[in-house]
C-alpha cells in the first residue's frame, strides 16, 4: 500500500474534475461536513471492479468482498431485508439491491486540516491518477439546473400521511406494534437524464451533513485512461445523500458503533426561537421515549452478535444540531464475538431500527402495506469496506434516488401511541423541504 500526500484541493472541484476526466459512472464519494463526525472524505473514480446484485443475495456477495480484500464502496438497499426475513412485504424497486465498486487507489481528504492523500497498491494507476490530479484546473464547477419545489409529484399528500399516522396509532393501540417509521415520497421526471454529480453539488452546499455522500452506478465500470463519458447520464442510477445518521461502524478489531436518530425540530434564524426548539426537543417525553425505544432495539440487534457484557450506551438522547434541524441521537457500542464478522452483524441488524420500528419485522410488514412506492436504496446504507476489514455506513435518509430522468426523495417519521397526525405531517415537511429547496 502506497500513500502519497498531494497539495490540498477543495473536494467539490476535485470530484468534478475527475468525473470530467474519467466519467461519472463508478464514482463514489463518501463525504462529510467538516465536523468531528464528518471530518474525513473518501473519493474513488474509475473502479477496477463492480459487483451489482438485483435478484441475488447481497449479504453473500458482501461476504465474498470482505473475504477477497480490497477497498469497496457503494450502497445496500432497504430491500436487502428480503434475504434476512423473507416475505412478500419486501417490494423491490428498479434500482440495485447492492451496488459496490472496488477502487485502487482512492483519495482520502481531511477536511479539518485540509490535507489530501492518494492511497493504493496499483502502482501504474497510482502514478497516472496522481498526474491527472496535478493537472486539473482550479475552477468552480457549473451549477446544476434548478428544479422548482412546486414541480414535484407527491405519492402521499400531507393529508393522506396524517391519515396513515392514525392507522399506525390504531395498530399500536391494538398491540400489533410499538412504533413504526412511516415514510412518504415525492418524484420528479426530468426532460433529460439527470447529472447526479451536479445535483449532489447543490445538496452538499445547502444541506451539509456528517454522513453524506454520492454513489453513481451504471451498466459498466470506467477504467483509468478510458474514454470520458461526462455528458452521458442516460444509463446511470445513483444515490445522493445528506444523511446525519451513522448506521454501523466496525473497526478492524471488531469494535462496533451505531448512532440511531429519533426526534427532530426545525432550526430557526432567531437565536431565542432556535434555543426554544432545541429545549422543547430535549425535554419532550414523546421524542425521548421514541429514541429510547430504538436504542433498546439496536442493543438487542447488536446483542445477537456481540460479546456478552460488551454492549454499552455511551450517549443516550443527546442533542445534535445541523444547519436545517435539531436531532436527538444516541450512541450504542459493542464488540463482535470471536468468529463473527461484518455479514453476521449486518444480518442481525438489517434494516436499521431507527427507520423501521418495533417489533422490527412486524413494522416492516405494516409499512409495506401503507407506503405506495418501494423504498429502494432509501433507508438502506452508503458504505465503505476497507481492505483491513473495517466498515462504515450511513442510514440513507435525507437522500435523493436517481434513475435516468427520474428523481425520488423520501422522508419518514417515527410514529408512537401519542403521535399527533398533523404534527407528524408537519415534521415530514421539516425533513423534506430543505432537500427540495437545495435542488431548486
The pLDDT assigned to 232 comes to 60
Q: Which residue among 119, 237, 245, 427 is the active-site one? A: 245
pLDDT exceeds cutoff 50 at 148? yes
Span 252-287, pLDDT tens digits: 999 999 999 999 999 999 999 999 999 999 999 999
CA torsion 362→365→369→374, rounded to 10°?
140
If you classify domain 2-439 with CATH, what class do you get? alpha beta
The CA R_g of the chain, rounded to the nearest whole Å, is 21
Contact 406, 99 (CB under 8 A): no
Judge whether residue 51 has pLDDT over 90.
yes
CB 386 within 8 A of CB 30: no
First to last CA, the chain: 43
Which residue is it, cell 444509463? Answer: 235
Residue 226, pLDDT above cutoff 80: no
Indicate the SS3 state at residue 162: helix
Give the tens place of pLDDT for each residue, 285-311.
Answer: 999 999 999 999 999 999 999 999 999
Structure confidence at residue 219 as a pLDDT band (50, 70, 90): low
Active-site pick, 119, 262, 320, 371 = 262
Question: Residues 391-410: what's their mean pLDDT?
Answer: 96
For 114-141, write each residue's pLDDT tens digit. 999 999 987 788 988 999 999 998 888 9
What percent of the chain is predicted at pLDDT more than 70?
A: 97
29, 41 contact by CB (below 8 A): yes
Give the distance from CA 399 to its chain's centroid: 7
Contacts of 273 (CB under 8 A, 6+ apart): none
Q: Quick check: is 5 catalytic?
A: no
DSSP state of 354: G
Burial bucket for residue 419 (CB in 10 Å: 0-12, 13-18, 19+): buried
Per-residue model confidence as pLDDT tens digits over 81-120: 999 999 999 999 999 999 999 999 999 999 999 999 999 9
Mean pLDDT within 234-243:
92
Q: Which pTM does this prediction carry?
A: 0.94
Stated length of the chain: 440
Segments in 221-351 forming alpha helices (H)? 271-283, 285-303, 342-349
Query: Residue 123's pLDDT is what?
Result: 74
- Whether 357 has a pLDDT exceeding 80, the answer reads yes
Strand segments (E) across 210-297:
213-217, 237-241, 246-250, 255-258, 261-266
- Best CA proximity match to 155, nearest among 439, 408, 369, 404: 408
Across the chain, mean pLDDT equals: 93
Would residue 286 show up in a list of annotated catalytic residues for this protein? no
Quickly state the pLDDT bin for 235 (edges 50, 70, 90). Answer: confident
Amino acid at each position: 500500500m502506497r500513500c502519497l500526500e498531494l497539495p490540498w484541493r477543495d473536494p467539490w472541484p476535485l470530484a468534478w474534475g475527475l468525473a470530467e476526466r474519467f466519467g461519472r459512472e463508478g464514482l463514489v464519494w463518501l463525504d462529510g461536513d467538516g465536523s468531528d463526525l464528518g471530518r474525513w472524505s473518501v473519493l474513488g473514480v474509475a473502479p477496477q471492479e463492480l459487483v451489482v446484485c438485483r435478484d441475488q443475495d447481497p449479504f453473500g456477495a458482501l461476504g465474498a468482498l470482505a473475504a477477497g480484500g480490497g477497498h469497496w464502496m457503494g450502497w445496500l438497499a432497504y430491500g436487502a431485508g428480503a434475504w434476512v426475513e423473507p416475505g412478500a412485504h419486501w417490494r423491490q424497486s428498479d434500482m440495485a439491491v447492492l451496488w459496490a465498486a472496488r477502487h485502487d487507489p482512492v483519495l482520502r481528504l481531511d477536511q479539518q486540516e485540509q490535507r489530501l492523500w492518494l492511497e493504493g497498491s496499483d502502482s501504474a494507476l497510482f502514478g497516472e491518477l496522481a498526474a491527472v490530479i496535478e493537472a486539473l484546473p482550479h475552477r468552480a464547477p457549473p451549477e446544476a439546473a434548478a428544479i422548482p419545489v412546486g414541480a414535484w409529484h407527491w405519492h402521499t399528500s400531507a393529508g393522506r400521511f396524517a391519515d396513515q399516522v392514525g392507522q399506525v396509532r390504531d395498530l399500536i393501540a391494538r398491540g400489533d406494534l410499538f412504533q413504526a417509521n412511516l415514510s412518504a415520497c415525492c418524484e420528479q421526471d426530468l426532460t433529460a437524464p439527470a447529472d447526479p454529480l451536479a445535483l449532489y453539488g447543490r445538496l452538499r452546499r445547502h444541506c451539509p451533513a456528517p454522513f453524506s455522500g454520492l454513489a453513481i452506478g451504471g451498466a459498466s465500470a470506467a477504467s483509468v485512461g478510458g474514454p470520458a463519458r461526462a455528458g452521458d447520464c442516460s444509463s446511470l442510477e445513483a444515490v445522493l445523500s445528506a444523511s446525519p445518521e451513522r448506521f454501523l461502524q466496525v473497526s478492524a478489531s471488531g469494535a462496533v458503533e451505531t448512532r440511531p436518530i429519533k426526534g427532530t425540530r426545525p432550526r430557526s434564524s432567531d437565536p431565542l426561537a432556535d434555543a426554544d426548539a432545541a429545549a422543547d426537543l430535549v425535554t419532550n417525553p414523546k421524542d425521548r421515549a421514541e429514541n429510547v425505544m430504538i436504542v433498546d432495539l439496536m442493543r438487542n440487534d447488536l446483542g445477537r452478535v456481540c460479546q456478552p457484557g460488551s454492549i454499552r450506551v455511551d450517549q443516550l438522547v443527546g442533542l445534535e444540531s445541523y444547519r436545517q434541524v435539531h436531532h436527538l441521537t444516541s450512541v450504542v457500542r459493542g464488540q463482535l464475538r470471536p468468529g463473527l464478522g461484518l455479514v453476521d452483524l449486518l444480518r442481525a441488524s438489517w434494516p436499521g431500527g431507527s427507520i423501521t420500528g418495533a417489533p422490527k419485522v412486524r413494522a416492516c410488514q405494516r409499512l409495506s402495506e401503507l407506503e405506495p412506492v418501494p423504498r429502494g436504496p432509501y433507508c438502506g446504507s452508503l458504505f465503505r469496506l476497507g481492505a483491513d476489514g473495517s466498515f462504515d455506513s450511513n442510514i440513507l435518509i435525507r437522500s435523493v434516488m436517481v434513475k435516468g430522468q427520474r428523481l425520488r426523495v423520501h422522508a419518514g417519521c417515527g410514529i408512537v401511541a401519542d403521535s399527533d397526525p398533523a404534527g407528524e405531517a408537519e415534521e415530514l415537511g421539516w425533513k423534506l423541504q430543505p432537500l427540495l429547496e437545495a435542488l431548486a
